[in-house]
Amino acid sequence: MRITAHETSLTQRHLWRSAREAIPVTRTVVVEAEQDGVSGYGEASCFMTDHYNSGLERMHADLRRVAPLLATLDPGGPGDADGVWRRLAAALPASPFVLAALDTAVNDLRARLLGLPLWASLGLDRPQGLRSSFSIGLDTPETMVRKLRERPGWCAYKVKLADPGDLRILRELREQTDAPFLIDGNCGWELSRLVPALPALRDLGVRLIEQPFPRAAWAEARTLRELSPIPVVADESITSPADLDACTEAFHGINVKPMKAGGITPALTLLRAARERGLITMLGCMPESAAGVSATAHLGGLADHLDVDVVDLLAVDTGRGLALDATGHVTLPDRPGSGYLPDPAAHGWSVHRVPAARVHPVREEVLGPGHPEEALAHPGDGLPATRHLAALRQGRAVGCASLYAEDPPDGCAVPGARPGRARRLGGLATHGEVRGTGAGGALLRTALTLSALDGADTVWCRVDDPAAGFYREHGFEVLGRPLDLPGTGVRHLMHRSIR
């Protein structure tokens, strides 16, 4: 099984706000697990980075760190799912999103190799009649009403509220629909403000309250559970099966998000256990693309409430997966696994693997016309072990980088480098229009991770003086004296260990 990582940049149709934050753009890492020409997919969001250790640098570093383990995993048959997850979880105890992306990709790959939809490979019944709620982010009342008007006829509306006592928003929304409201406090409310508002909230058609208090406020949650005529479900308070006992005492139900739980495997465990305990089950998602949420929807038959409208909220995506009609009915693709199909031309990608033919025009544009062909094409561009990456902006290649399976030159002993375990990074270039936007860093970050996942332990390159500072910022070191290379001028040999 080979693992590949891609970066994405997901723009929302509207600025997404909650009581905690505003999110104009979400960065994610899409993980691809491939075997025998078949690929499965998972996704990890750069979201609440301090809480979930989900910053881009950290997630890439985690993937590089566990690369040796990933090389030993075999997706196998249905009975191997728990064993693979346990090995991954032991290696990633503090990185639930990376764990989730890997576990989801492996489950998706396993199902595709078996030729089964994901729900069937997990031993579930075919999900029937799935409908998602529609989420309305925190904003001015006028904007929130406009968002509801844009999506009439959904089965329920999940409304973010900064204060449970602010009933004006709900009253104005109620004038537009008879559908139930699910209200979400995102850990931002106080018990003293919520309790007096409960009768009015019930009269306004609120049928569910989600995570009103911070995770640590267990006493307040238990008090509310006894007082509230409206069921209360945990979100941030339920992060793994280890939280289930505490949540059973403090909430009427749980919102299971596979990315937060650590993947499809523990999410399935949580949903089944919650049902056995008589808890309300909600199945939700993080800010993500169809690459991740399509797998989530296959668990929809175990949920009382489904919240997978994220693909409708996006202005861009990474491919085709689950489909939502105009009123939130969910259709799962009639394809094996999650059914997700990546679209390399989709505008959601920011760094993606591409064929050599796509990086040559970028090299030519950046280097300028008149360069000899050998400056634009490398003899190793077409070799099976070579990897080419493109930085993408609205689907257009605006940067590129290539990785070649080459050891450092004779006489340049790179510390820690073993024969056959190095990659040379070449042709890293970005258009002037994206310099300073992080495109070069995204290319380099992804190249390092891809090298580690391919089994390398060292990446090296030759760079000129102006570029040396950029590479130093990303952990590269200069080796030896500068080289005066014919036709190219003075170059520094720089290297970085990636294990």
For residues 396 and 489, membership in a common domain is answered with yes
Average pLDDT over residues 335-364: 92
Residue 279, pLDDT > 70, answer: yes
CB atoms within 10 A of CB 93: 9
Q: Residue 8: name the closest of 336, 465, 446 by CA.
A: 446
402-427 per-residue burial string, b: 16 or more CB within 10 A, e: under 16? bbbbbbbeeeeebeebeeebbbbbbb
Kindly state whether residue 283 falls inside one of the protein's structural domains.
yes
Q: Which of 48-52, 202-206, 398-402 has the lowest mean pLDDT?
A: 48-52
190 and 270 part of one domain:
yes
18 inside domain:
no
Same domain, 328 and 190: yes
What was the pLDDT predicted at 156? 97
Picking from 112, 74, 115, 65, the residue whose alpha carbon sits closest to that of residue 93 is 65
Residue 13: what pLDDT? 83
Q: Is the pLDDT at 374 greater than 60, yes or no?
A: no
Clarify whether residues 387 and 286 are in a common domain.
Answer: no
Q: What is the CATH number of the domain that holds 467?
A: 3.40.630.30
Residues 96 and 145 in one domain: no
Inside any domain, residue 129 = no
251-277 pLDDT per residue, tens: 999 999 999 999 999 999 999 999 999
Confidence of residue 36 (pLDDT cuts 50, 70, 90): very high
Mean pLDDT of 57-82: 87
Do 114 and 158 have their domain in common?
no
pLDDT at 313: 93
Report the pLDDT averaged over residues 65-81.
82
Last residue of a domain, one of 308, 342, 376: 342
* Residue 17 located in a structural domain: no
- Examine residue 348 and state whether it is found in any structural domain, yes or no: no
Model confidence pLDDT, tens digit, residues 208-255: 999 999 999 999 999 999 999 999 999 999 998 999 999 999 999 999
Does 198 fall in a domain? yes
Q: Does 85 reside within a domain?
A: yes
Residue 413 has pLDDT above 80, yes or no: no
Query: So what's the pLDDT on residue 483?
Result: 74
Residue 407 has pLDDT above 70, yes or no: yes
Q: Of 310, 322, 315, whose CA–CA distance to 348 is shortest?
A: 315
Supply the range of the domain harboring residue 331: 134-342
Give the pLDDT of residue 364: 81
pLDDT for 479 equals 85
For residue 380, the one-letter residue type is G
Looking at the predicted structure, is the pLDDT value of residue 71 above 80? yes
| H/E stretch holding 445 | helix 439-453
- 371, pLDDT greater than 80: no
Query: Which pLDDT belongs to residue 18?
Result: 67
Q: What percent of the chain has pLDDT over 90?
A: 77
Both 65 and 36 in one domain: the answer is yes
- Could you write out the DSSP letters of every residue in 89-132? HHH-TT-HHHHHHHHHHHHHHHHHHHT-BHHHHTTPPPP-S-BB
Alpha helices in 123-250 (DSSP H): 141-150, 167-174, 191-203, 218-227, 244-250
Q: What is the pLDDT of residue 67?
A: 96
Last residue of a domain, one of 96, 119, 142: 119
Categorize the per-residue pLDDT at 112 as very low, low, confident or very high, splitting at 50, 70 and 90: very high
DSSP label of 407: P
The Cβ of residue 77 has, within 10 Å, a number of other Cβ atoms equal to 11
Whether residues 7 and 64 share a domain: the answer is: yes
DSSP state of 151: S
In terms of domains, do 163 and 298 share one?
yes
Question: Residue 290: what pLDDT?
Answer: 97
The answer to whether residue 372 scores a pLDDT higher than 80 is no
3-state secondary structure (DSSP) of residue 4? strand
Identify whether residues 96 and 153 lie together within a single domain: no
CATH number of the domain bearing residue 250 = 3.20.20.120
Q: In the predicted model, is pLDDT for residue 16 greater than 90?
A: no
Domain count, the chain: 3
pTM exceeds 0.85 = yes
Per-residue confidence (pLDDT) for residue 176, from 0 to 100: 97
pLDDT at 263: 97
Give the integer Cα–Cα distance in Å for 425 and 409: 13
pLDDT score recorded for residue 77: 55
Q: Is 155 inside any structural domain?
A: yes
What pLDDT sits at residue 216?
94
What average pLDDT does the segment 290-310 reach?
97
User: Same structural domain for residues 77 and 148?
Assistant: no
Average pLDDT, integer, range 183-188: 94
Look up the CATH number of the domain holding residue 62: 3.30.390.10
Q: Are residues 104 and 202 in the same domain?
A: no
Q: Are 239 and 256 in contact (CB under 8 A)?
A: no
Rounded CA gap, 181 and 167, in Å?
12
| Token digits of residue 133 | 């709620």
At 79, the pLDDT band (50, 70, 90 cuts) reads low
Question: Among 95, 119, 143, where does a domain finish?
Answer: 119
Q: What is the pLDDT of residues 317-345, one digit of tens each?
A: 999 999 999 999 999 999 999 999 999 88
Comparing C-alpha atoms, which of 319, 283, 331, 295 is closest to residue 108? 295
Poorest-pLDDT segment among 80-94, 276-290, 297-311: 80-94
> Cα separation of 130 and 312, whole Å?
15
pLDDT for 377 equals 75
Q: Which of 67-71, 181-185, 253-257, 419-423 has the lowest mean pLDDT?
A: 419-423
